[in-house]
Amino acid sequence: MTARLPAYWRNVITVLGGALGAQALPLLAAPLITRLCTPADVGAFSVWLGVVAVAAIGATLRLEAAMILDHDSAAQRTCFSVVAYSASITAVLMTAGAALARLCGVPIAAQLSWPALLTIGVATWMTAYMQTTLAYATSHNAFGKAARARVWSAASIAAAQVGLLALGIGGLALVAGQLVGLAVGLLAAMLLLAPPQAWPGWLPDSAQRAYLRRHDKFWRFSLPSNLLNVIVGQLPLLMIGARHGALAAGLFALTQRVLGAPIALLAASVLEVFKRQSVHDFQTQGNCRDAYRYTFKALALLGIGPSLVLLLFSPPLFAFAFGENWRAAGELAQILAPLYFLNFIASPLSYVFFVAGRQKTDLVWQVALFAMTLSVFLAPGTLRQSVLWYAIGYSLLYLVYLRMSYQCAQNRMVAA
């Protein structure tokens, strides 16, 4: 393992450089955005973005994860065609469903404008295809090119949102800016990486059906597992918006963005490299215990400092950075800081479930997490009480999750 560490961390630093730009730019733009729009605008946009994030996971069928294991060029071309097909169907259904929800008076849909509702499908398609293209980059060790594509996307989103807000467009500028950034990022990824171009067809052909059968664990187990994971990540925001209004949703959304930044920046960078290393170790040694241990220790050391700062100083930091109106978001950040520390560690290491073929175990855990989250936010209580019980329940489940993932890394049986 020691001989591999320099290459391992060189790849981490390469991915980290792109992630730094991709995450630093939105964070640098956030103080401007929070002063140019209201918490309610941020809340409505976050609901829209949450729906897109959930739909994009379903649109890929989680087959982009299979591409990292299957390096055959013909198979990867088929994977792109399957994802293009499923993403197109999902985009049409999401657009129609959003319009129908607004016409039927669904409260969440009523908080969004018609332009936002009618662009959910387009945003879903671009997000799904971008995820697949970045997975293609990982499968070919093209970390630098993927990093540049991420930076292009993030810079375009930040610039477009701030520019449109400055023109006085209002909350719709956040949605429009996101769409501009997604388009620019996807175009940059396709030019830099030159992924296989495959027409999805009107109906799945024999090669596409065979690919779905060969990688059935991903759409049978990984897809519902990841859907539950993303839904659980967005469920508090959606339920807070429904129960406490767009203002409370905006405060919680900013909390999620700030606390999630280290995860998106550092942990996601480690994940991209851990994917390749864990697959290599499993194929050559029958386990990835050493890679798991080293990554666990590195993540713990990287995450402890920012977590302590947020735990101790969040309210004044939020008020200083984003304005006094956002101090309440800092109070929520104090409650959630320990949970996000565990999330920082567990998120990259979760890939070991795919490598070990234990997607079903991961699915069982995701079901338990979904049930906990739903029960906490349906129970009566104030916003702070709900967030506190959510943090406690989620943290306990993460401790169980880390134990199960370590057993998978050792290639030991895990009892679901």
pLDDT tens, 182-240?
999 999 999 999 898 877 777 888 888 888 888 887 888 778 877 877 887 788 888 88
pLDDT at 63 over 90: no
> How much is the pLDDT for 91?
95
Lookup: tokens for 279: 């697959």
**Residue among 50, 202, 30 at smallest CA distance from 124:** 50
Q: Please give the pLDDT value at position 267.
A: 61
pLDDT at 374 over 70: yes
- Residue 416, pLDDT > 50, answer no
Instruction: Report yes or no: 332 and 255 within 8 Å, Cβ to Cβ.
Output: yes
Give the model confidence (pLDDT) of 164-182 as tens digits: 998 888 889 999 999 999 9
Average pLDDT over residues 48-76: 85
The pLDDT-based confidence of 2 (bands split at 50, 70, 90) is: very low
The pLDDT assigned to 304 comes to 87
pLDDT > 60? residue 415: no
Which tokens is 289 given? 């215990």
Q: Give 38: exposed, middle or buried? Use CB within 10 Å, 0-12, 13-18, 19+.
A: middle
| 127 band by pLDDT with thresholds 50, 70 and 90 | very high
Q: How far apart are CA 379 and CA 365, in angstroms?
A: 21
Cα end-to-end span (Å), the chain: 30
**Predicted structure pTM score:** 0.69
Residue 360 banded pLDDT, cuts 50, 70, 90: confident
Return the percentage of the chain with pLDDT > 70, whole number: 89
